Structures are given as structure tokens and as C-alpha cells.
Amino acid sequence: MFLNTLTPKFYVALTGTSSLISGLILIFEWWYFRKYGTSFIEQVSVSHLRPLLGGVDNSSPNSSSSSSSNGDADSSRQSVSECKVWRNPLNLFRGAEYNRYTWVTGREPLTYYDMNLSAQDHQTFFTCDSDHLRPADAIMQKAWRERNPQARITAAHEALDLEDCATAYILLAEEEATTIVEAEKLFKQALKIGESCYRRSQQLQHHGAQYEAQHRRDTNVLVYIKRRLAMCSRKLGRTREAVKMMRDVNISLPKSATICYTAALLKARAVSDKFSPEAASRRGLSTAEMNAVEAIHRAVEFNPHVPKYLLEMKSLILPPEHILKRGDSEAIAYTFFHLQHWKRVEGALNLLHCTWEGTFRMIPYPLEKGHLFYPYPVCTETADRELLPTVFHEVSVYPKKELPFFILFTAGLCSFTAMLALLTHQFPELMGVFAKAVSVTHFSTPDKHTTVEGFSFSSVPSALMKNCLNDTDTQGLAKHTVFKR
């Protein structure tokens, strides 16, 4: 009788109200997730049910404040320079390496944006306002602005025809030399000229702004030449000589993936050869193993893109001339030179494979929060797409956490009730009949005993029961069955 008295307007109001309530819950859940990184329903359930079950909640949003205090204090305020593009200190040689790759594959390993940044660097470090006083420097000032590689090489030869010029030898070593041996020979010639220019400008640096600019330019040229000579020695297998030259240069670099992952490799080297996930799960981690795992977690939080390249889960390409700290470009640049070091240490890659994914369970979410470092910048993907050749390389993005179950459930519930509200509003009578049918199906399930007016009938044939229930004469019904109180 209750279902028969319900009108279609009731079903419209019911489904509309349900859709509104579920939509409000969805909005609140999404807002809570964006702010605290977890579902409100899940958080309340864990907070109230886990203590009753004897557990301890370690996923509180406020727990990140205490853990982040152990992070990099100097870097926590670098919100402005998060996506600053840096010159790759280990960039390859265009003539001896990048061009050879193009000859073999037909692909351009460097983007226009990357090469344009390099051109700006060359103009900043290798030129000054007094270049017009020397014909060779004036030619090189124009050469660094040329977009055509062949025009730059021609200008460098013209400058050398006039006089010895360190920057001209630098350009030829970078872009014309087809082997590392040829590049090293040209850099050694540039080193002799650069040292003499540096000594001469050092004596005159305090005689005016013009001489200050010349000395600053000559210093940059000399440092660049020594650094590239160290790269040549490293590529030719003379590692000790390369280390000595880099120490002479004495360049202080900010925190990078190279520093973090090298520290992790050094700590992993002490335990990786005997590390076993099964044994560690049974007996727990030792102090040395714990230090190695923490170092890996620290490195992965700084740059989460490196492990897939080290584990060869993603194909490697030539590194760009500029990198973005904590981005995909930095991961490529690090792995390109250091994958061999991880392979030389027995079990290091196995330890990395077993532990690196655990980092993302420790880092607070969303990305506006940090654990050991300042928050991960959200602009890395855009910058990496400018630095890396996306034609044949898929840019890595920060691993994102999946949405909690309750948000997905609430979204589905909201969509379902909204659809029911729309259908009920458009077809009220049809939906009313459907609702009554569903209610009868779920709430009027047949029992073993059928009751009429306080009496229950049992052991009655179904056909006879149907005839009896359709008969209004209870006397006839009493003749064909047995009554039970």
C-alpha cells in the first residue's frame, strides 16, 4: 500500500536529493584530497578503526611537518628558481658526438630551444664589450650569434687567419672536430692562448670597467677550456688526469642527482652483494642496509626519473646541453655517464630495484609538500619538453598517486544518482513502475511459510496455494490445507 501511494514526484525528489548529497560529498572529498592527500572517509575510518584493532596511524597529513625538518634547509626557500635550466657540465661535443649520432640515425639529438640557450651562454661567457678592439674577437662575437653551424666554423677559421684566438679554437673543437682526439688537440692550443690572455688581463683588471670585463671573459674562457680538456681525458680513459684537472677548476655545483645517487651508490656498495629481499623481510634490515635504503629513498625523492633509466626500464638517449634539476633531462644526463658504475657494483641495481618504489609511499601528497627536500616542482614537464627531442623520446613525468577508492566510489555514486534523477524527471511514470518492481523484488522475497491473517501455510502445493490465495472464500481455503498458529 505504501508503494502504491507514492507518486512520480516522490521519485523525482528522492533521486534529485540523492544526487545532490552525493555530489556535495564528492566535492568535499576532492577538496580534502587536494589539501591533505588522502580521502576524508578513509582518514576517519583509519583514525577510529585502526586504534581499535591495535594499529598506529602513520599517514596523518601533519606528520610531514616533522619529517620535512630533516630535509635540505638551504633549498626549502628556492621556490623562485625551481625550474631554472642549468648548463649541463658533462654535455657532449657537437662535432664528435652529436653530429655522429645524426649521421647514423638521421635524428637531431638537440632541440632548437636547447641550442639557443647554448648560443646565449657562449655570448655571455666568451664575449665582452671591448671585443671590437681586436679584429679576431670582433669576428668571433658575430660567429657566436650565427645559427648556421657551417657559418660559425667559417668565421672561426677567418679569426684564426688574423691572429691566434682561444675562442676560435674552442668553437672548432666543439663543432668541427669529428673525434675526441682532434677536439683535445684543439683545446690544448686554446689553453696556451687562454692562459697568456688570462695573465695579461689579470694585471690590468683594476684599471677600469673595460679591463674588468676582459678579465672576467678570459677567466670564463680558461675555466671552460680546462673543463672540456678534463672531459676529453675522461672519454679517452685517463680518469686520474681528468680528476686532477677538474680539481684545478674547483667548480662548486649545487645539489644534483649526481650527488644524491652517487651517495646512494657508495652506501649500497657495502651491502648490495649480500642483500636478499627474502632474508631482509625475515630478519629485518641491518644498520648498513637501512642507511643504503634511506640514501636510495633520498635520491629517488630528489629525482624520481633516474631509476627507470638505471634499471633499463626506459630507453636512454643522448643528454641535452642543458638540464633541469630534478627533471627528466637531468635523469638522462646522469644515467648516460653513471649507468656503468651501477653495473660494476654487484647487486647495486638489485637493491635499487627492490627499494626505489617505496619512496612514493613515504612522500606526502600532493606535490606541494615535501619529505626530505623542498616540494617537487610542477613545471618540470613543460621545461623538459623544450629541452628533449619529444619526436623519438617520451618525456617522463612525476609518478602520480592513484585516487583513493572512496573518491572513485563517490564519483560513481554521484554519476549514477544524477542519471537516475534525469531519467526520473523525464520519465516519471516509467521510473515509478521500475522502482516499485525493484522494491518488490528485493523486499518481498518468498519465505518457506506463507502467512495470511496470522496463519502460516506449509506443505501446500504451489498450484493449490495460488488458487487458494486468489479465492476470497477462506472457508474453501480451509478445506484444502492445514492451519498452523
**pLDDT tens digit string along 363-377?**
665 444 566 777 777
pLDDT at 27: 80
pLDDT at 111: 93
Q: With a cut of 50, which residues of the chain have pLDDT below it?
A: 55-81, 366-368, 448-485
Q: CA separation (Å) from 204 to 126, 209, 385, 420?
A: 18, 10, 45, 85
pLDDT at 38: 60
The interaxial angle of helices 239-249 and 209-235, nearest 10 deg, is: 160
Dihedral, 454, 459, 464, 468 alpha carbons, nearest 10: -10
pLDDT at 211: 82
Query: Which amino acid would we find at residue 473?
Result: D
**For 52-98, how does the pLDDT look when each residue is reduced to its tens digit (9 = 90+)?**
555 444 433 333 333 333 444 344 334 434 578 899 988 999 999 99
pLDDT at 205: 75
pLDDT at 45: 60
Closest to 33 (Cα-Cα) out of 416, 410, 412, 417: 410
- Are the beta carbons of 304 and 398 closer than 8 angstroms? yes
Dig out the grid coordinates for 64 from the structure: 610531514
pLDDT at 184: 95
Instruction: Please state the φ and ψ torsions of residue 117, each to the nearest 5 degrees.
Output: -65, -40
Can you tell me the distance from the alpha carbon of 305 to that of 396, in angstroms, rounded to the nearest whole number? 7
Can you tell me the distance from the alpha carbon of 206 to that of 135, in angstroms, rounded to the nearest whole number? 24
- Are the beta carbons of 329 and 384 closer than 8 angstroms? yes
What structural domains does the chain harbor?
127-249 (1.25.40), 257-387 (no CATH)
Q: Kindly give, in sequence order, each residue whose CB lies less than 8 Å from that of residue 297, ignoring residues fewer than 6 positions away.
A: 355, 356, 358, 359, 362, 372
pLDDT at 294: 92
Instruction: Please state the φ and ψ torsions of residue 315, each to the nearest 5 degrees.
Output: -70, 145
Can you tell me the distance from the alpha carbon of 381 to that of 384, in angstroms, rounded to the nearest whole number? 5
